[in-house]
Each structure stands twice: as structure tokens, then as C-alpha cells.
Structure 1
Amino acid sequence: MDSCTTNYAVAQASDAAAVVRDETITSVMDVQAGCRWLAELPIPPFQQHRILRGGHLQTLIGARMGHTDHVGDAVHRCHSIELADGDTLVAHDDEPQNWTPAKGSVLLLHGICGCHSAGYMVRFQRRLNEHGIRTFRLDMRGCGDSAPLCRSITHAGRSEDVLAAIEFIARLVDDVSSPIGALGVSLGANQLLLAAGRVGSGKHTAPVGWDRVGPLLAIAPPMDLQLCSDAMESAKLRFYNWYFIKHLLRRASAPLRERDDYQAMLRLPKPKTLRQFDRQFTAPLAGFDNERDYYRASSAVSVAADIAVPTLIVTSADDPLVPVRSFTTLADRLAQRTQQGTAPKAAGLHHGAVRVHISAAGGHHGFMQRDRTGWTDELVSDFYGSAFASSPARSLTAASDVG
């Protein structure tokens, strides 16, 4: 405890309407001195568009922001990542001109309806490439270019797939001084946090290259799946249920459609809510007993306090899909562990390294600003530009930095 600097400041944020407009609600820290750059990283408040205000409008416009075509002068390659069960992921590798391993790489993970070509994935790729950082946009199981290569589906609990991708990057960029960051949006953010938390708690074996990993950035993660499912039952979110179910059924890969169990599921009445979809499709296809078992096992909130890699979690209080309560619950858990001195210890980390930043507005990864730019676009480039410039990955967890 003596060698650690802890800063914990949280406002009661269960009611988004009670916060000051366009201001940060809370920025929670549970960090040690070795990650001081994370504690001191300035995060400017989100100034939402004057007309496109409110969680729903921000969410909807955010889904339409950005280009879906690859742009820039980076060298583009595709890599296949073979998984233990026979499925294959596809990683889209964009290497900037004059890139060197010291400049680092970032793994990008998409949301439930996304893939490598989602607008935000391409925007983040461009931003990072402009800063000289190499990016790997991953197509998770059944998504994008991985669709014809997978009989299984992606879901919130696929932490082992994230670790497989990280190990692939570490082996491809075989340089111990080359940092590996990872960024997830929505479902991909939960997968990322779950992976880091499971490694931190010992539930997963750290993959090759894990000592080079950091920092992590999770945007709008549905960390408490049961809480999110409860919220989605509201009649006000009927459109979102319809949209997700329509997309997920349409996206089913050819190998998945060939499965007898999937065909049997299609013969049942069509689900009307995401909870019904998870009960009928997600849980049984992924090997869970039911949707409650899936939610319990796959929620990152259960292990997020065990993360021992510098991590920034960003969300908004008016996100219509992810209740802010799951983040204030995590903040309380981080504070309790810090006070008790039971936060994870690993490679010089005497306490966890998680910062939770809750904006008063922004919707579900909408964040369109008054100048019509994306707030998270700037955050992503500033975050990794600062992290990789301050120290390579190995020094982020070096004992010599503590104290």
C-alpha cells in the first residue's frame, strides 16, 4: 500500500437526469504509481451535438457515423487465426508506412452487429494509423470475413478468442519491446474485459506475449448482461430488440445454418426480445444451460476488479442499452478492494489498474460532438498516443516503475 497512489472519486450516478449536462459524472481510479500516466491522462468532457441530443439520438447517429471503406496509405493484409475447435477468425492488419515494432499495435474488437468494416472500426484504424500505430481489426466468429469459416457464434463470453488473437499478434510481431494494446466496443469491450479479468484471476492462462499487453480501452461494455437484458425488456427498447434479432438471424453463417440444432431452433416461434433470442439461440449454441447461465458466466463485471493491465472503461449515463448502474457497481467494488488491499498483484502491480470514466451523455457509443466529430475518435488516438509514447508495454507493468 505504501508504494501505491490511489485516487477514488465517484458521484452517485444511478439517475442520469440528476447530473450536470455535458459534464463527466465520475472518473474512478484504482491505480498504482506505475500507471500514473493513466491516472493523469486528461479526458475532456463530451460536448454533445446541439440538435442530436439524448441517448437514443446519439446511439442511432453513432451507428451511421464513419466510412466503411478502407482508406489511407497503410499496407493491408489479412490473417487467419485458427482456433482449437476448428473455427477460424480473420484479422485485418493495417501497417502504416515506416512502422516499426516500437510504435506498437492495437487489436480492435467490434460490437454485436459489427465486423472489421464497421464505421467505428475503420475510423479508429485510420486514427491510429495516422499516429504510426499498427492495427488489427478482428472479425469474430461468424462475423465479416470469418463467417464462412465458423460453425459457432460469437457471444459476450468469448474471452478465449480475444486471447488467441493477442497471442497471434505477439507471435507475428516477435519483439519484446513492441507494446500490444486492445480496444473493444460494446460486446467486444465485454469480451476484452472478461479476457483480462480471467487472466488476472487465474481462470485463464496468460497467452504468449501477455507481458507486452496494455493498455486496454473498453467503450460502452455491457458488463452486467442480466442487467442489460432486464433493460431490453422495456417496451421503449422494442426497436433495438427488433434490429438486433433481425441482424443476428440474417448474419448466420452457412456452416452454422447447416447444423441440425440451428435448423431446429429456426422452427420455433421467432423471438421478440433479445432475452428470448439468447434463450432460444445464443445459450444453447454456445453450450450454456440457459440464458441466465450465459449471462452469469459471460458478464465482465464479475472479474473486472481482477484486471491487472492498465485499463480505461468509457461509457455514458444516458446509454439506453447498458444501464449505468453496472459501472457504479464496479466503481464501488474497486474502491472496496483498494481499501482492503485485495486488488490483484502481478508483475509489480500492487493494486488494480482500472479507470472508469462515465460521461453524462453520449448514448450507446454515439458521442457525436457539436463540431460533428466523434469524441471517441479523439480519445482513442490520444489514449494510445500517450500510452505508447510514455513507455513500451513491458514498462507498464515493471516493478521499477512503482514507488
Structure 2
Amino acid sequence: MPVLKETDFISPFWLPNGHIQTIFPALFRKTTGVKYQRERIITPDQDFLDLDWSPANHNPSRKIVILSHGLEGNSTKQYIIGMVRLLNSQGYDCLAWNFRSCSGEMNKTPVFYHSGATDDLDIVVTQAISRGYKEIYFIGFSLGGNLTLKYLGEKGRQRSNLIRKAVVFSVPMDLKQCSLSIIKRENRIYMHRFLNTLRPKVNAKSRLFPDQISLAKDHLVKTLYDFDDVYTAPLHGFDNASHYYEMCSSMFFVEHIQIPTLIVNADNDPIVPGSSLPVELISSLENVHLELSSQGGHCGFRQYGLRDDIYWSEKRALDFIQKNEFL
């Protein structure tokens, strides 16, 4: 399907570049109007997942949107809350699930979450189906977007027929290239922010599972790539960071996606460079469409002329879910 290289998104003049367009919403947007009902479910390996449900504002809904957050995010991040609030107002129930260790309480097994942990997403889908929903939609952000695409590609024609569409934003489809990009001097603010929350989790897990998580190589961890090489990869059954990236990058799975799927990325995304996206591959696919905005940053998309605190990305996702074809 042809790749759309421009959208109708226009950033405010006072958010002049990708860094500011990324940072401003993350630090200064205050979203309200969503009250979650938390459910804790037990996973087959005797761990747990915390699911936050938000019902539609009117009438019982048979439609559910499953939202997957980004690296070190959770269900309370502004990009999740804003999306849930709009979807609720339009008659969609929402399920914002928290990855292992991201819900405010450390999970109980040695493993955490990672960019390709689709088994947990499958558990969440099963839980939604058990509640009787007849239509399921996916929305994912950053790491959660990669996870969503990988899940749909893995499932292919074997997915539940209840899953209708997916929308993902700011997706690192090539995990290795994105991991190397974030090492650049101008991007290190993001890398250090991630490492500042990931390190304490590893330290806590090493005390709980000293035989499985060693801090002996912690001095080698200077970058996110190092973190994945020392901790993420071996802990989750991969040989090293490169092997982990190769096995989990969604660009290797998108060609098998069988439902209408919209990928929205910004060319000025400081975390996901445009060169990392498989544009030629996606342009050949029937079910997957890529929209590249010149601006928007990473999970930003705060538009000029904002009304009712509804971001452009939220309106775009709703529009795609409600309509039967790509714009």
C-alpha cells in the first residue's frame, strides 16, 4: 500500500523540533477524566499482569480497544490516558495493560518485559475475549507498537477473528538501529532516562534471584544497547542484544499481518529515525499502511490549534478505527 509521506498534522510554532515535540507532552500535559478499574490476572508461569479497564461513557459496549504503552511506561502515561478518554467518549471500552514490573509493583518472576514478549499480549487478548467483547482493536505506542505489530504478524491468519484493526505510533520497527541511534549525543537524555528506571529494577531483581540475575557485568552498561546485551537478552533466552533485536523487530513480521493496520511515525522522531523504517516493504503490503509526518516527535503529535486537549494522534486513531478504509 502506498506510503503517505505527509499528513494533515501541523505542530505549533513554539514546538519547533522533534526533541521539544517529544518532551513537552511528556512533562507538561496533564490528562484527567479517566478512572480505571484494575484487575490482576495470574499468568501461566505464576506471575501477574495488572490490567486497567475503562468502560465507555454511555451504554454497555461490545467493542474493546487494547492499549500497549512504551518502554518504562504504564497505563497512566499522558498518551494512554488521552487516547482512552477520547475512545470512551465515542463508545469504546478500553483496556490499558501494564507490562511486567510497570504497574507500580515488581513482578514475581526473574523475567521482565521486552519488545517481543507477545505471550503476555496474547494473555490480555484472551482475557478480553472472556468478557464477551465482539470487536477488538489494538493501539500501541513505541515499544508497545512494536509488540503489537509482532503479535499480529506472528498470529497471521491464526489470530482471533474478533481482532479487527490496529493503530501504532512512533514504532521502533528496527530495534537495533533505534538502539544505536539513541546513543547519539543529542539523544542521550532519553537513553539515560530509561536507564535510570531500568537499573533499579535489575538491582531489585538481583536481590530476589541472585542465582539468575548477576550484577557482575553492570559496570559494562553505559548504553541501552549494553543493557539489552547484559540483561535483557540472556534473561529472556537470547544470545545477545543483536540476537534479541533480530528476533523481536516488527519489521520482520509485518508482511504476515492480515488485518487493516496503520503505522504512524514522524520524520523528526529523535528515538526512531526515519531511515530505520522498512518503507519499501510496507509499500508492497495490502493490509499495512505507513503514514510519515514531517513533525510530531516521539509519541508527541501535539497539533496547532489544540481543542479540548485532544491530540492529533488520538483523533487519527479514532478515525481509522471507525472508518472502513485508509485515508
- Indicate the residue corresponding to 1:332 in structure 2: 280
Write the distance in 2 (CA, Å) between the matches of 1:52 and 1:319. Answer: 13
Asked if the contact 2:191–2:224 (Cα under 8 Å) also holds between the matched residues in 1, the reply is yes
Of 262, 271, 291, 1:321 maps to 271
**Residues matched between the structures, number:** 322
- Indicate the residue corresponding to 2:231 in structure 1: 281
Q: Does 1:167 align with 2:117?
A: no
Of 100, 122, 127, 2:60 maps to 100
* Distance change in 2, residues 1:256/1:378 (3 Å): farther
Letter of the 2:259 partner, please give it.
Answer: V
Of 266, 279, 292, 1:358 maps to 292
- Counterparts of 1:185-224 in structure 2 under 5 Å? 185-200=141-156, 206=159, 210-224=160-174
* Deviation digits for residues 221-244 of structure 1 (CA, Å, limit 9, x no counterpart): 111011112212322222222111
- Indicate the residue corresponding to 2:19 in structure 1: 56
SS in 2 for 1:297: helix
TM-score, normalising length: structure 2: 0.90
Percent identity of the aligned residues? 27
* Deviation digits for residues 315-339 of structure 1 (CA, Å, limit 9, x no counterpart): 0011111111232x2x312444x5x
Unaligned runs of 5+ in 1: 1-7, 11-23, 27-43, 339-351, 392-403
Write the distance in 1 (CA, Å) between the matches of 2:193 and 2:280. Answer: 34
Asked if the contact 2:47–2:107 (Cα under 8 Å) also holds between the matched residues in 1, the reply is no
* Distance change in 2, residues 1:134/1:238 (3 Å): same
Q: Does 1:259 align with 2:209?
A: yes
Write the distance in 2 (CA, Å) between the matches of 1:305 and 1:288. Answer: 23
- Indicate the residue corresponding to 1:398 in structure 2: none
Asked if the contact 2:206–2:215 (Cα under 8 Å) also holds between the matched residues in 1, the reply is no
* Distance change in 2, residues 1:77/1:303 (3 Å): same
**After the TM superposition, which segments of 4 or more aligned residues of structure 1 sit over 4 Å from their partners?**
251-257
Write the distance in 2 (CA, Å) between the matches of 1:307 and 1:256. Answer: 38
* Deviation digits for residues 163-196 of structure 1 (CA, Å, limit 9, x no counterpart): 1111110111x25xx2110111000000000000
- Measure how far apart 1:99 and its partner are: 3.1
SS in 1 for 2:71: coil
CA RMSD across the alignment = 2.4
Unaligned runs of 5+ in 2: none
Of 22, 26, 40, 1:80 maps to 40
TM-score, normalising length: structure 1: 0.74
Write the distance in 2 (CA, Å) between the matches of 1:360 and 1:262. Answer: 45
Of 22, 37, 51, 1:91 maps to 51
* Distance change in 2, residues 1:125/1:261 (3 Å): farther
- Measure how far apart 1:253 and its partner are: 8.7
SS in 2 for 1:132: coil
- Indicate the residue corresponding to 1:25 in structure 2: 5
